[in-house]
Structure 1
Amino acid sequence: MLVTFTVSAPERTEIENDRKPNLLIVTFDRSMAPLANVGKEVTGGIGISPALAGTWRWTSDTILSFQPRDDWPIGALYTVTFDRSALAREVRLAEYRFTFETPAFVATLANAEFFQDPVDPASKKAVISLNFSHPVSTAELEKRIELRLTGQSAGMLGVGKQTTKFTISYDKLKLNAYIHSAALPIPKEDTVLTVTVDKGVVAARGGKASDQVLTRAVSVPGLYSLRVSRVGPTVVSNAANEQEQVLVVDVSAAVHEKEMHRRISAWVLPIQHPQSPREPLQKRYDWRDPREITDAILAQSTRLTLEPIAAERESVETHSFKHRADVGRYVYVRLDRGLRSFGGYMLGERVHALVQVPPFPPELKILGQGSLLAVSGERKIAILVRDLPGVRIEIGRVLPSQLQHLVSQSAGDFAHPQFGDRFGSDNLVERFERKVPLSNLPHGRPYYHALDLSDYLPPTASNAAASSSSPCSDTIPHRTFRPTASLPTDGSCS
C-alpha cells in the first residue's frame, strides 16, 4: 500500500511578536519514520532546492518538520525530494517529491481619511495608513506613492503633472507606513484627493514585488460643507436629581459654543394656527411643516430662551441648550446661514426644524435598603415621586400569630422574601391602603413623601411587624410587594 502525505507550507513569521520562523510540516497518513529516528534530527536522505540552511526532524513517526536557520525567503518556490534511506524500509510513498511556496510580500492600503486638527484650525490634511507583510523597502515604496486632488493637471507625457506633496513615517520594523499630505486648502466645493500606490513595491529583503495598484479616494469637504444632522428635544436629570428640558443640536464638524449660540434661535409656536377658524372645542394645531412658519406666525410666537450647557471643549459637534416650555407645545428652531465651524467650514443654507416638547418621564420608587424596624425611633419610609398625579400605597402588616410562619415558610432575605407555591403573603398579613394626591407638583421636580409606618403598628412594636409598602399611581400598572418584616430594596412600580 502506498503512503500519501499532506504539506503545510509555512505562514508569515510574526517578527512584530518576536517569533521564530514557522515550520514546514509534512504529515504522512501512516507511520513513516524509522523508529530509531523519532524525535531526532534527520541528517540525510531529504533534499531541498534551492538550497536552504535548516534542520529536518521527525517530531513523531508520522510528522516530519523543517526549521530554517534564518527567516524564510519571501515568495520563493521550493522543491523537496525524499530518498528511501530517510524512510522506514517496509513502506513506499505515492510521491517522492513536492513543492511549496513561502509567504509572498503583501502591501495593503489600510485606511485613508481627511483629518482636521482639533487644536489648529488651519491644519487640514489626508492621513493614509499602509500595512506590509514584511519590512518594506522604503526607497521603492516612496517613489510609487502619488497624491492628486481633483482638478490638478495630469500633464502631457509626464510633463506638467501636478500632485500634492506628502511626508511619510514608519514604525520600528517598517511593517506600517503613515502618509500625511501637505496642508489642504478649503475648496469652494467638495472635492476628492486620490491616493495611489503603484505596483512594484518590494520588501527590504527582496523577493517578488507587489503586482497590484493600491488606490483610495479621500473626500475633502468644501467651504459650505457644514451640515446639521439632528435637532431634537430630550429630558435629562441634573446634579440635583431634577429633570430639565434640553434641546440637542448635532453638526458635522466642531463649532464653537459661542458661534452656535449666536446663530441659533427658537420660538414656541401658538397653540392654534393664526389663520385657522376659532372654535371653542378646536384641538391644538399640529405643526409639522417648517415651511408654514412665516414672519407673521413668528410675530405671534414666544421667543424661547436657550441656555447653553458647557461641554468639555469649546468647539464640539454636539451642542445642548436648556430651556423651559410647556409639555406638548411645538418649538420652531432656526440655524442661520453662515454658521462657521472651528475649521472654517460654513452652513450654506438656513436650517429650519420643528420639535415637540416631550413629557417629563414619571418616576416612582422606594428609597433605601430593606431592614428590620427598630422598636423605638422613627419608622418612616422615603418615597420618591416625580410627575405623577398621585400615589396609592398598600401596606401589609404581618399578623402576630404568623411571625413563625414568616420565618419557617420563606427564603431569601428581608428585602426579597421568597415563598412556596401554596403559601404566600395573603397567609401572613392584613392589608391597609393609603392614597396620596399630588396634583400640584412642579414638572420635573422630585417630591419626597415620608410614609410613617407608626400608624400601622400597635403601641408595642414587638407584637407586630410592618411589611413592605408598594407605591403605585393610577398611570402605572399596580405592583404589590411581598410582605416581610423588612423594607424592600427597590419599591419602584413598572
Structure 2
Amino acid sequence: MDENEPRKSPFSFLNSLKAILKKLLDRVNVLLKRSLSQLPLVTGKIAVSYSLPSWPAKSYNRIKQWSLGKRLLVFGLPILIPIIGFSFYYWYQSLPKPNTLTVKVIKPGLTRLAKKLHPKPLKLKFYESAAPLKQVGKPILKGVRIKPEIQGKWKWTTDKLIEFRPDVDWQVGQEYTVSFDKKVFPDHVLLKKYEHSFVTAPFHAEIQQAKFYIDPKNPAIKNAIATVVFSHKVNKKIFEENIKLTLKVPGKKGVFSSSKETDFKYKVTYGPLGGKAYILSDPIPIPKKTSTFVFQIDKDVRAARGGPSIKENLEKSVSVPGLYDHMQIDSVEFNVVRNKSDTMDQVIIVQSNGDVYPARISRNIEAYILPENRPEVPGMKGIRDYEWNDTREISPKILRLSQKLKLSLIPSEKDFARITSLKYKASPGKYVYVRLKKGISFLGNYRSGQVFDRILTVPDFPEEVRILHKGAILSTSGERKLSIMAYNLSAVRFEIGRVIPDQINHLISQTRGNIANPYFSEYNFTEDNIVEKSYEIRKLKPTAAGEAQYFSFDFNPYLRTSPDPRMKHGLFLFKVERWRVEEEKVKANHEEEESDEENYIDQRLILVTDLGILVKDNVDGSHDIFVQSLHSGKPVS
C-alpha cells in the first residue's frame, strides 16, 4: 500500500451509498416530474411540481461531521449487543446443570359422607429417592407448610412419597399451596419447584331421578318427586331458596302455539347425612293433555361448609299424563284354567297398563259369539263357515245375529289390579267378538281413551293326565292302588315296568334325580335293561268338557301272578299316558305299541312294601338303624 495514498475512512462506504441513493432519487425525481406534468392536461386546472427533499443530504453531512468513536458507538453497538447476548446464552446452556426432582401432586379425593368423616390424604410423589434415609416411615415435624393452614400430620411414607393426613375435612373447592424448606431434603436433592398447588373436590349436585307418582292409598293424589344427590352436605336454606317447579301444559297446535306454565310449591326432606334431598311437589291436577313437569335448581346452590357453588343450573323433566293418555287396555285373551275344585273354567283375561277396579272392567266389557256364516251385505256375498278376523267387519247387523255371552267376574285378591279375569261358557272353535268401551275409569281417575276390541277363537280344553298325591310307597297292607286324574281323555295306557330284584343296584348307580322320579343318565343304559314291562290300556268314561276324570290303577294283579317268592313285593317304574284308540287295533300287553309324540305323560317310581327304615342320629355322630312295619309301626326282626 502506497504511503502517499490517502487513508480510507472506515465509513468511506457511505460515500458510495450516497452516490447510489442520489442516482436512485434522481431517477425517481425525473419520473415524478414527467407524471405530474401531464396532470394539468387531465384536470385542466391543477398544476403540480415536485423536487427531491433535502433531509437525506443534511443527515449525511451531519453524520460525516461526527468523530470516528461516535460513529462506531452509534452504528456498531446495535450489532454488537445481540452478538454478545446470544454468545452468553449458548455459553450458559452448555454449562453442566444440577439434577432437579419433579414432584407429582396427587390431590385428595372426595371425602365419603358418613357420621364420622375420614378425609382422604394428600400425596406428593417424587420420581427419585428424596427422603433422608433415617426419616423414611417417620413424621415430618417441620419444613413443610400448607396454606390455607389445616391441621394434620406429614409423613415420609416411603423414600419417594410424602403423605399428609388432615385432622379435619378439606375445604370445598379450595386451592391449597404446599411449600418445602430445602432442609427437608438431603443436600444433594434439589427440587425443580419448592411450591406446589392443588384444588380440592368442588361441590357437585345432580338430579338423580324424577318421576310422576300416584299415591296408592289415595290415587286421587298425584305428585312429582325428584331425588337430588350432593357431593358434600348441602346448605339447606340456600338449596330450598333456589328450587323452581313448573308444570307446562301444551296449548293448541298451530303456528303460534304456546304452553301454559304453572308454578308449584314443594316440600323438601333430606337424607340422614345431608347428601340427598327429596323434592315433593304439591298435588298435581290431571291435565287434559300430556304435560311436562320441570324441576329447576339454580347454580347458586353450595355446600353447608361454604366454597364455590355448582357450575351450572340443573334441570330435569318428567311427563305428566293427560286424562285419556295414561291408562289403556293392553290385551284380551282366552284361556282355560283349573279352579279349586279341579274343574277347568273358560276365562277371558283382560290386561291393562295400569291398576283398575275389576268391577269397572266387568261393567264395560261385552262378548258376542259370532254367527258361523257371514251374512250378505251390500257389495259382499255371504260366506259359509266364515273365519272372522277383522273387527271392522263387525257392524250392528252382525251383532244382532250374534249371541251375547254371559260373563261373570272372578274375584281377585286385591281391590284393584292390572289383570281382570271373567268366566264364560262357549263351544271350542267358536269366534267371539270382545269389546271394551271407551272411558273406563282407572285408578287415579284416569280414563281409557278409545274402544278396545278383538276377535278371539275359543280354545279347546287341554288334555291332561297326572298321578295324584305325593310319595313313592304303597303299603302291602292297604289297597295297593294308585289314584290318577285326567282331563278330556278317551283312553290311557299304563306301562308297568317291574324292576328285577337282581338289578336294583343298577337302578341306584345309573339314575339321577329323586326316588319318586329318577331318570337314567346314560343313553346306552335305560330302564329296558333292568325291568320287565307290561302294558294295559283303559277306556275312560266320557265327562263334560273341563270336568276331571278320576280313576285308579291296581297293583294287586302284578303281585299275585309271579311264581317267584321274591315278587310278593315289588319296585315298579310306572307310567301313565294319554292314548288314542283306533279301531280296536291296540292290544293290551303289546310292547311295540307306541303313543304319538304329543301324548301327555306322568310317571312315578312305586315301591310296594310293608317295611320301613327308621334312622336315629346319635350325639356322638353315630347312627342307629331300625326296620319297622309300616302297617303296625312295630320293629321287624
Structure 2 counterparts to residues 162-311 of structure 1, below 5 A: 163-225=263-325, 226-275=327-376, 284-311=385-412
Match of 1:434 in 2: 536
TM-superposed deviation, 1:196: 1.5
State how far apart, in whole Å, the 2-side matches of 1:63 and 1:69 are.
19
The structural deviation recorded for 1:362 is 4.1
8 Å CA contact retained: 1:4, 1:29 = yes
Tell me whether 1:468 sits opposite 2:570 in the alignment. Answer: no
CA offset at residue 367 of structure 1? 4.1
Counterpart-to-counterpart distance in 1, 2:533 and 2:394? 57
Sort the Cα spacing of 1:481 and 1:441 in 2 relative to 1 into closer, same or farther, 3 A: closer
Aligned equivalent of 2:607, options 478, 486, 489: 486
One-letter identity of the residue aligned with 1:73: Q
CA distance in 1, matches of 2:363, 2:604: 58
- 1:338-367 deviations in whole A, cap 9, x for unaligned? 322232222333222223334444443334
Tell me which residue corresponds to 1:490. Answer: none
Q: Are 2:481 and 1:377 aligned?
A: no
What is the CA–CA distance in structure 2 between the aligned matches of 1:446 and 1:29, rounded to whole Å? 85
User: What residue ranges of structure 1 are gaps of 5+ in the alignment?
Assistant: 154-159, 488-494
Which structure: greater helix fraction? 2
Contact conserved, 2:575 with 2:604, CA < 8 A, in 1? no
Instruction: Assess, with a 3 A threshold, how the Cα gap between structure 1 residues 85 and 335 changes in structure 2: closer, same or farther.
Output: same
Pairing 1:458–2:560 present: yes
1:22-421 pair list within 5 angstroms: 22-26=120-124, 33-60=131-158, 63-83=161-181, 85-86=183-184, 98-151=196-249, 163-225=263-325, 226-275=327-376, 284-368=385-469, 371=472, 373-399=474-500, 403-407=501-505, 410-411=508-509, 414-415=515-516, 416=518
Inter-partner Cα distance in structure 2 for 1:341 and 1:107:
37
The yes-or-no answer on 1:20 pairing with 2:118 is: yes
Amino acid at match of 1:453: F
Q: Do the aligned residues in 2 keep the contact of 1:245 with 1:323 (CA within 8 Å)? A: yes
Task: Give the TM-score, by structure 1 length.
Answer: 0.82
Confirm or deny: 8 A CA contact 1:429 1:483 kept in the other structure. Answer: no
* TM-score normalised by the chain length of structure 2: 0.65
Structure 1 residue 134, shift from structure 2 partner = 1.3
Q: Distance in 1 between matches of 2:371 and 2:187?
A: 101
- AA aligned to 2:533 is R
Query: Is residue 410–residue 419 contact of structure 1 (8 Å, CA) maintained in 2?
Result: no
* Mean CA deviation greater in 21-30 or 195-204: 21-30
1:449 to 547, 551, 572: 551
Tell me how far 1:447 sits from its aligned partner. 3.4
Which amino acid counterpart does residue 395 of structure 2 have in structure 1? T
Q: 2:250 & 2:528 partners in 1: Cα distance? A: 85
Note closer, same or farther for the CA distance 1:35–1:151 as it changes in structure 2 (3 Å cut): same
The separation in 2 between residues aligned to 1:462 and 1:59, in whole angstroms, is 87
- Opposite residue 20 of structure 1, the aligned amino acid is H
Confirm or deny: 8 A CA contact 2:491 2:537 kept in the other structure: yes
**What amino acid maps onto 1:178 in structure 2?**
Y
* Superposition deviation, residue 303 in structure 1: 1.7
Unaligned 5+ residue runs, structure 2?
A: 1-98, 252-259, 579-594, 609-637
SS in 1 for 2:346: strand
Q: Deviations over 1:371-395 (max 9, x none)?
A: 4554443222233433444322211
1:157 aligns with none
In structure 1, distance between residues paired with 2:219 and 2:499: 70
Deviation at 1:210, TM superposition (A): 0.8
Equivalent position amino acid for 2:363 in 1:
R
What letter matches 2:535 in structure 1? E
For 1:333 and 1:482, the matched residues in 2 are separated by 41
Q: What CA deviation, in whole Å up to 9, does each residue of 1:387-446 have, x standing for no partner?
A: 4443222111234xxx23323674267443758787553343321111233473444444
Q: Percent identity?
A: 33
Contact between 1:381 and 1:451, CA under 8 Å: does it hold in 2?
Answer: yes
1: CA distance between counterparts of 2:213 and 2:288? 18
Count how many residue pairs are aligned between Structure 1 and Structure 2.
475
Instruction: Provide the secondary structure at the position in 1 that maps to 2:505.
Output: helix
Q: Contact 2:465 / 2:601 at 8 angstroms: preserved in 1? A: no
Asked if 2 retains the 8 angstrom alpha-carbon contact of 1:406 and 1:484, the reply is no
How far 1:285 moved relative to its partner? 3.1
SS of 2:308 mapped into structure 1? coil
Q: How far apart, CA to CA, are the structure 2 residues paired with 1:79 and 1:248? A: 71
Which residue number in structure 1 is paired with residue 56 of structure 2?
none
Higher RCO (C-alpha under 8 Å, 6+ residues apart): 1
Task: Look at both structures and tell me which one has the larger radius of gyration over its CA atoms.
Answer: 2
Contact 2:289 2:323 (8 Å CA) reproduced: yes
CA 1:71–1:447: 2 relative to 1, 3 Å = farther
